[in-house]
Chain A
Amino acid sequence: MFVLIVGAGRVGSAVAKSALAAGHEVSVLDEDQLSHERLDAGQRDSWEEADGQFTLGTALETDALIQAGIERADVFIASTDGDNTNLIIAQIAQRRFGVANVLVRVMDPARAVWYGEQGLHTISPTKHAIEMFESALAADAG
């Protein structure tokens, strides 16, 4: 499977590494060169030596997306630190490039729900944190 990950912060880079270890073809697009170093950190081989791809560029640039391989991506993961950027590029991946499987990180739970209803596969870390706090609180209270 070809996986394109846009935004390699803590979440994106960890998912990129595990996807590569699982034997998938992985391409990462990020506007910050530091993200490339993050992919190398703690690994025996560098990202490229391990057959990972890295493209420096911003997510809204169509050229950068194409260079990163969006046209043949099976999975697109939008995991930049901006909800709005993620929601826009996810829709570009889905509607313009027809990527079959699009996953979007959305911190704001309300928008995660609404865009989920519109057909995007949204993942909200905030929502999970809230649920975990709530269940921990309930367990303590019980």
Chain B
Amino acid sequence: MYVIIVGAGKVGSNLARELIVKGNEVTLIESSRPRYLAMEEEYEHAVQYGDATELWVLERAGIQRADLVIAVTGDDEDNMLVCQVAKEKYLCERIIARVNNPRNYDHFKLLGIQPAVSATDLILRLIEHEVPRYGLVHLLALEEERLEIIELEVSNDAPVVGENVASIALPEGSLIISVLRNGSGFVPKADTVIEAGDEILLVLDPGLEEAITAFFAPSGTRAEV
């Protein structure tokens, strides 16, 4: 796979190293001259000097044949612009953008730039996952596919306690994929009985969160962080 990475900071340069080790062809683009020179010692011809928001710089890097473009500069406007141009002008099928300020996430979405990854959001989700309380945790959102995977802890007053999986009438578009109990996980069968304290993983269509919460944690609020 040919990957162009824009921004050779800590994120970009480490990503490049990992992708090269995995056998991919990678070009890193860096707009700061001192940073470029420092990177050139390790990456040699795989790093190019230039402002990747300029079209000729992307073309010089061979964007027409790129399978994946990743924009991970420290500037959200630059990341949005690089990804928009890659996707809409050069018809690159796969893009990944870094969101520096989570408040800009809506802008990425508005411009159709997905997936957009925010380190702040990822850490927040980890905190929610590591500090389990009643409530719902988003584990993975597949925006393009319109699916998400969530985790819920079953509360004592939940209507599903003592019910077997087959008898729980979940809304259309949702499915239990795993049950975590006493530290280990298993894929439930039709006769698996749900217990209070179980952590349930579900895959569902976006927008069903509230309906699902009513089954498993009716009095639960979202984990506060």
Interface residues of A (CB under 8 A from B): 60-62, 82-85, 87-88, 91-92, 95-96, 108, 110-111, 114, 118
For the complex, give the distance between the alpha carbons of A82 and B85 in Å. 17
B10 at the interface (CB under 8 A from A): no
Cβ of B40 to closest chain A Cβ, rounded Å: 25
Additional pairs, 6, CB under 8 Å, beyond known A60-B101, A110-B56, A114-B55: A61-B103, A82-B77, A88-B80, A91-B110, A108-B54, A118-B88
Q: Can you offer 29 A-B residue contacts whose CB atoms are under 8 A?
A: A60-B101, A60-B104, A60-B107, A61-B103, A82-B77, A83-B53, A84-B53, A84-B75, A84-B77, A85-B77, A87-B77, A88-B81, A88-B107, A91-B110, A91-B111, A92-B107, A95-B110, A95-B111, A96-B110, A108-B53, A110-B55, A111-B53, A111-B54, A111-B55, A111-B85, A114-B55, A114-B85, A114-B89, A118-B88
In the complex, which residues of chain B have a beta carbon less than 8 angstroms from the beta carbon of A85?
77
Chain B residues with Cβ below 8 Å from A82 are 77
Q: Which residue of A lies closest to B101 (CB)?
A: A60
Q: What residues of B have a CB within 8 angstroms of the CB of A84 in the complex?
A: 53, 75, 77-78, 80-81
> What's the nearest-Cβ distance from chain B to residue A48, in Å?
29
Q: B77: which of A61, A88, A110, A114 is its contact (CB, 8 Å)?
A: A88
How many residue pairs bridge A and B at CB < 8 Å? Answer: 44
Cα A83 to Cα B111 with chains together (Å)? 16
Q: Is the CB of A88 within 8 A of B106?
A: no
Q: Given the complex of chains A and B, what is the CA–CA distance between A61 and B76 in angstroms?
A: 12
Candidates A60, A87, A95, A110; contact of B54 at CB < 8 Å:
A110
In the assembled complex, the Cα of A114 lies from the Cα of B85 at a distance in Å of: 9
Enumerate chain A residues within 8 angstroms of B89, measured Cβ to Cβ. 114
Query: In the bound complex, what is the Cα–Cα distance between A9 and B110 (angstroms)?
Result: 28
**B111 & A88 in contact (Cβ 8 Å cutoff):** yes
In whole angstroms, how far apart are the Cα atoms of A114 and B110 in the complex?
19
Distance between Cα atoms of A14 and B106 in the complex (Å): 32
Report B186 CB to chain A, min CB distance, Å: 45
A108 to B53, CA, bound (A): 10
CB neighbours (8 Å) of B75 from chain A are 84
Nearest 7 pairs of A and B residues by beta carbon: A84-B77, A84-B81, A110-B55, A88-B77, A85-B77, A84-B78, A84-B53
